[in-house]
Amino acid sequence: MDTLQELITGRFTWFNFIFAALILVGLYAGLIALDRLLKELIIGRRWQAWLQQLLHYVITLYEPVAAILLSVIFVFINPVVNGILLALLILSGFQHLRDYLSGRIVRLENVIKPGKSLRSQGIQGMVSNLGMLGLQLKTSDGLHLIRYARLLAEGYTLVSGEDSGGFYRLKVAPLPEKEEQKLGAVHLLDLLATAPYLDLNHQPEIRPASDDGKRMEASILLKEERHLYDLLPLMKEWGYEARPVGEV
């Protein structure tokens, strides 16, 4: 009975809320940094792929779990007032909350990715970006935003075939004369961020293609398909030899 009374009168303070928020934000930043570091480490292709997949699940689930923890602390600061405020906030933004949680499901499934060709709601195109509340589908007549809740409710089809639109997977390796320099994944990601040809709605992804870490596979989204022939010479200037996957 005393414990219940403590909860009703408020067990937590604003200091607890702010402290918890700082801890949770710090942990999230650490997970993102670890994800970036993992792209550079050389620990074997199989182990690296497994760890990246595990980290993907952890980061995907971390956001809603952290939000729930903060919400609980917020309510217990003042259960009556803050509980009513939180309930009103959830009700007013219910559709956004539904889309956000549906988006977590889509990300956990990890089958819809930028560059994939998808058909839903009578629209077919290339997935260009996975946002917080919906995905962007790039078609011949422009960008379409499809909300996650509606996507799951109405269903979708991943169209088989090669990567489409301006999405490319590249085989990348340092030029022979540059092999002694440490031109790894993080260095390449930093350079790609400066390239004017990339659509940065999709952050470039780089995976090791050999156990020594010298050969890599990069997944990139270009603003236009023709930009591929501008990007490849630019990467050569940076010290990398690159060609689309599938070319000999």
Give the C-alpha distances (Å, rounded to integers) separating 4 from 7, 9, 73, 76, 116. 5, 9, 15, 11, 52
Give the C-alpha distances (Å, rounded to integers) separating 58 from 52, 90, 240. 10, 25, 33
- Write down the mean pLDDT value for the chain: 82
What digits encode the pLDDT tens for the residues 104-156? 999 988 888 877 888 888 888 888 888 899 998 888 777 889 999 999 988 88
Whether the CB-CB separation of 127 and 112 falls below 8 Å is answered with yes
What digits encode the pLDDT tens for the residues 176-225? 776 666 667 778 888 888 888 887 777 788 877 766 667 888 888 887 77
The residue behind tokens 């909860």 is 7
Residues with Cβ within 8 Å of residue 92, at least 6 apart in sequence? none
Whether the CB-CB separation of 139 and 188 falls below 8 Å is answered with no
CA dist 210 and 191 (Å) reads: 21
- Which of 227, 226, 165 has its CA nearest to residue 192? 227
Tokens of 229: 């022939």
What digits encode the pLDDT tens for the residues 66-110? 999 999 999 999 899 999 999 999 999 999 999 999 999 999 888
CA dist 27 and 35 (Å) reads: 12
The residues facing 198 across adjacent strands are 222
